[in-house]
Amino acid sequence: MSRPRSLDKRQAIFDATLKLIAECGLSGIRTSAISKTASIAEGTLFTYFKTKEDLVRALYVDLKHEMVDVLVSRLPHHASTREQIRYLWNAYIDWGIRWPEKRRAIEQLQIATEITPELRAQASAPLADIEHLIKDGIEHGLLREYPVNYMGAALVALAETTMNFMLDDADQALRYREMGFEMLWQGIATS
């Protein structure tokens, strides 16, 4: 009979992998380094994940779901389109500033060969509320008729740039946050 799995050990493995990916990139880490950082025996890692690729995939889904939950859990559905997008903007920036390792890890994982298009779609499924918001804005003539995934990618890219400037110049952080949102809004709004 196998030993019961511990949620604490699983989280320690996730935390160690996250830390190493953020510091070294995905290609630079080995399971031995993950185990050492998590303070577990290397064999224990394989009790939780059959392969390093399985671990990477699980971490990606976990991080994406956490981030999406932050974005959509308090989305003010009855607010204007602009205010809902501002909320998403601020929530994403707050998340990224608070969790820079998670942000860097997601950046690395987005381009990892282990993350298939199907897994990306699965991990992004909870973004349906945001997709609906954008489609509704387009249908009502409030947002430009750009592809939804293009607008989402533009939001992320501009938010990443904004976060970097905010971190580099804390005295001007609020100014960068507002400038970034205005640039985004002027780029996607019809008027």
Instruction: Identify the residue with better confidence: 27 or 81.
Output: 81
DSSP-H helix ranges across the chain:
7-24, 31-38, 42-48, 52-72, 81-98, 100-110, 117-124, 128-139, 148-168, 173-188
Q: What is the second-level CATH architecture of the domain 1-49? A: Orthogonal Bundle (1.10)
**Whole-prediction pTM:** 0.88
- Separation of alpha carbons 168 and 146, rounded Å: 32
DSSP code, position 141: T
User: Reduced to 3 states, what is the DSSP secondary structure of residue 72?
Assistant: helix
- Separation of alpha carbons 37 and 30, rounded Å: 11
Topology agreement, domain 1-49 and domain 57-188: no
Give tens-digit pLDDT for 106-128: 988 988 888 999 998 888 888 88
Could you tell me the pLDDT band of residue 4, with boundaries at 50, 70 and 90? low
Give tens-digit pLDDT for 119-156: 988 888 888 889 999 999 999 999 999 999 899 899 99
DSSP-H helix ranges across 73-127:
81-98, 100-110, 117-124
Domain-wise residue ranges, the chain: 1-49, 57-188
CATH number of 57-188: 1.10.357.10
Q: Which amino acid is at 41?
A: A
Whether the predicted pLDDT of 2 surpasses 60: no
Give tens-digit pLDDT for 62-106: 999 999 999 999 999 999 999 999 999 999 999 999 999 999 999
* Predicted pLDDT at 83: 97
